[in-house]
Structure 1
């Protein structure tokens, strides 16, 4: 779904669920934020082509955080690329993405026997052999990346320690990752079941108030445009109660 000129979501479907990576582009280059589950490279290629953005234009991938549904197709993407692609992530999630530590939420050692036994065999295999790749660029809070008119980094920990959101300056678009979700046309806070530190995640939402936001892209739920700044303000006030 096109959000504005040079910003769109790539809807990736898997087992009845939709994931929403973000593509940002201009005449010179393209940037992808998150990469779906393993095996979704061709969906990414097709979605880019449908927008008129050649895969070869991709210069960077920004990883909002370490979860498997955000890094899943990244190794395949890098292998398929014919040019150098920079991979960005926050330093607190970098070692997990690189495979130096097991991904926190899918680490078999953190699950009890009943949880593990309830998983389908293909998920057990994926959890014990998660995707991994090198991160060659570190993200810091307040940093501005020099792509497509400027992309500002907002460190929004809680969902994971190194979770980041991105603010696309030119279109006033907030890419929220999993810090917020969009459900039935409304913005909601992080999902408690999948959030490591809920108090920190809720506190992170206040950082959005410093930005002039016209559109929000949630990885789960897609695009929200209806008085976005006001709705974020209302959400922050609600979670403070």
Structure 2
């Protein structure tokens, strides 16, 4: 039987309490982690997985939704600590994860720096240094839209660009569940676009929300917000309408 476990992790970042929700998919053959948090998050993930009596050394695969620092900050440490784990990402993400191309989030931060007011620049400089410190990690397998992964009862890859060009979400047909990554987030109980002011292509992000409607989803899990409580299809349509003239 396929199990989907939400690893709600509470922590402080920039003196603000935050929660992220990596996911564990688990069956008798595989344990798959989806996204792995900020740097130095392995102990937090270990504690979260232990709530389900799962140890990190049992994880066989790690699927990356995209290369933002809160999703892949611990990726290189994972690969060093558990070299047997297979790292999987969209083919467009591979060069950014492996460090052969500069992070798009870093490019964005650098390109907007000069326009910032003087009092905002120290924090921006700190953020840029943080992005520069993220270690690259080798990707073992790349995927594209529509790929069907045979593990844990079956996983369908949904290319959901906008937040980043290589962003992916996942669909679990057995439970009619979408694992959204940052394609959508939950804010005050409703679905929203993740940080629209920092989304690299907002129009593309809205089209990705439309793409999610193609799936027979009864549940949607967001990296920021966890499990959505409500009518998934209706909530997605309301979000789309908010960005449609």
Give the TM-score normalised by the residue count of structure 2: 0.89
5+ residue gaps, structure 2, are: none
Contact map agreement 2:60 2:86 (CA 8 A) in 1: yes
The count of aligned residue pairs is 237
| Cα distance in 2 for residues equivalent to 1:114 and 1:158 | 23
Deviation string for 1:151-192 (max 9, x for gaps)? 100001111110111111221111111111101211123321
Q: Which structure 1 residue ranges, 4+ long, deviate > 3 Å from structure 2?
A: 113-117, 120-125
The answer for the alignment partner of 1:57 in structure 2 is 58
Contact map agreement 2:196 2:202 (CA 8 A) in 1: yes
Alignment of 1:1-241 (within 5 A): 6-15=3-12, 16-81=17-82, 84-107=84-107, 109-113=110-114, 117-119=121-123, 123-241=127-245
| Cα distance in 1 for residues equivalent to 2:192 and 2:25 | 24
RMSD: 2.0
Which SS does the other structure have where 2:243 is aligned?
helix
| Cα distance in 1 for residues equivalent to 2:71 and 2:87 | 13
Contact map agreement 1:190 1:201 (CA 8 A) in 2: no
Deviates most, 228-237 or 189-198: 228-237
| Cα distance in 1 for residues equivalent to 2:169 and 2:105 | 19
Deviation at 1:210, TM superposition (A): 1.4
Contact map agreement 1:158 1:200 (CA 8 A) in 2: yes
Deviation at 1:67, TM superposition (A): 0.7
Contact map agreement 1:37 1:71 (CA 8 A) in 2: yes
Contact map agreement 1:12 1:36 (CA 8 A) in 2: no
Deviation at 1:88, TM superposition (A): 0.9
Contact map agreement 2:170 2:179 (CA 8 A) in 1: yes
Judged with a 3 Å threshold, the aligned counterparts in structure 2 of structure 1 residues 121 and 201 are, in CA distance, closer, same or farther, namely: closer
